[in-house]
Amino acid sequence: MRSSAASDGSVWARIPRRLGDAVRPRIPEIARACVDAVAAEIPEYSGCFGREPGRGAAIEQTRRGIERDIDRVGAPAMWQSDRLADFRAHGRTAFHEGLSRESVQAAVRVASRVMWRWIAEIAQETGLSGDVVYGMAEGMLGDVETAMTAVAEGYSAAEAELSGDGERNRRVLRALLGDRQRTEEDSPAGLPERVAAVVFRAVPGAPGLPPDLLPDHVLADLAGDPPAALTAAPDADLTGLAGLPAGWTAAVGPLVPSGSAAESFRVARRATGLAARGLLDAPGPVVWCRDHVPALLLLADEFLAAQLAETTLAPLAGLPEKRREHLAETLLALVRTRGSAPELARMLDLHPQTIRARLKTLAELFGNRLTDPGERLRLELALLAERALPERG
């Protein structure tokens, strides 16, 4: 049961800001003391925390956690949301590393005791009264209880993922994505009418995906090849993907009827490959396929796209690179809009006379193809394909 003191983060409300300022420079030292105490007192941690690189990673994680706690001085409501998520993630990680539930909870208790002993000593050095220190200690007990509960929740969630329900969810996911035929046992009740597949891709040496990357209700197999997930509400469920670890890319396939989940998966998997080659321009680590439909369509068969560009744009071959680039830019604007020279000039931010000269050249190169609707479409597709394709030497 979580205490009220912890649930509202009252311990952080009781810490004066000047104490937070005094603690901050000592955080690296406190983090080392916490990790060393855990290694000394808990046998299961003595190996991984007692030597590098495990000790260094644990110190860094502890340092960041203490910094986030101190950042909450005067803003206790912030503590409950994301800090508890940290403890749940710690519980998940501990399970996957083979540590017992009792050991990981004991580690939280030991680290909290050491941290608060340091903070109490710094409080006395700062001249704070005994009443203030006592009030902080009282709140700390509630916080430790809450943190241990969160660790247990994360541990249990990871444990469940490898139990019957978790394994069945992975079977359902892979069956929906087309890895094998779906059986009646693998057909979940209440499957959403429409779903979008998510596919993850990492560069060599990238860190592992965090276990709490996706909400628990999302069907996922983050240990698969490739890691993948299915969601009925991508905009709501995938906000956490903005925090993907360095080196990771995720592609979100189109929202499709659940029976076509394999098609969404196929498109998303293709998108991760194109993004890795720099052929899809996304502003961050997440590629939303709905924003790249023309490029995905044109690059579905790169050989045919290249043939289309080469044969259709043959009149531009042999021109100097800059001149060819300028003419291609004007040609694309022309076939898309059929605009006049002044209209195209405004669109391309050029002088109308420059556009007239280019249009004259294009008319000489392409002739009646510029007025034939079918040829105009072919020209537009060829120009877009050329832009999307990698340079071919």
pLDDT at 67: 85
- C-alpha–C-alpha distance, residues 128 and 120, integer Å: 9
Which value, to the nearest 10 degrees, does the dihedral of the CA atoms of residues 176, 180, 186, 189 take? Answer: 20
- C-alpha–C-alpha distance, residues 174 and 192, integer Å: 16
- C-alpha–C-alpha distance, residues 70 and 260, integer Å: 49
Q: Return the ∠ at Cα 254 (arms to 249 and 258), rounded to 5°.
A: 115
Nearby residues of 78 by Cβ (< 8 Å), 6 or more positions away: 9, 71, 72
- C-alpha–C-alpha distance, residues 190 and 105, integer Å: 36
Each residue's pLDDT, cut to its tens digit, for the chain (393 residues) gives: 333 333 444 556 667 778 888 889 999 999 999 999 999 999 888 877 777 777 888 899 889 888 877 777 665 554 455 567 778 778 878 887 788 888 988 999 999 899 888 988 888 888 877 777 776 776 677 678 878 888 887 787 777 666 555 566 777 787 788 754 444 444 454 567 889 999 999 887 777 788 778 887 888 888 778 889 999 999 988 988 988 888 899 999 999 998 899 999 999 999 998 888 888 878 889 999 998 888 888 888 888 888 888 899 999 988 998 999 899 999 988 988 888 888 888 888 889 999 999 999 999 999 999 988 888 888 988 888 888 776 643
- C-alpha–C-alpha distance, residues 236 and 29, integer Å: 40
Any idea what DSSP says for residue 282? -
For residue 37, the one-letter residue type is: A
- C-alpha–C-alpha distance, residues 121 and 133, integer Å: 9
| Residues listed for the chain | 393
* pTM score of the predicted model: 0.50
List, in order of start, the domains of the chain with CATH numbers: 4-161 (1.10.490.10), 192-291 (no CATH), 304-388 (1.10.10)
| Helices assigned H by DSSP within the chain | 4-7, 10-14, 17-23, 27-41, 43-49, 54-71, 77-78, 84-96, 101-126, 130-161, 164-176, 234-237, 261-276, 293-298, 302-312, 321-337, 341-348, 352-366, 373-388
Q: Per residue in 36-48, is it b (16+ CB within 10 Å) or e — as a string?
A: bbbbeebebbeeb
Cα 3–chain centre separation:
33
- C-alpha–C-alpha distance, residues 1 and 155, integer Å: 17
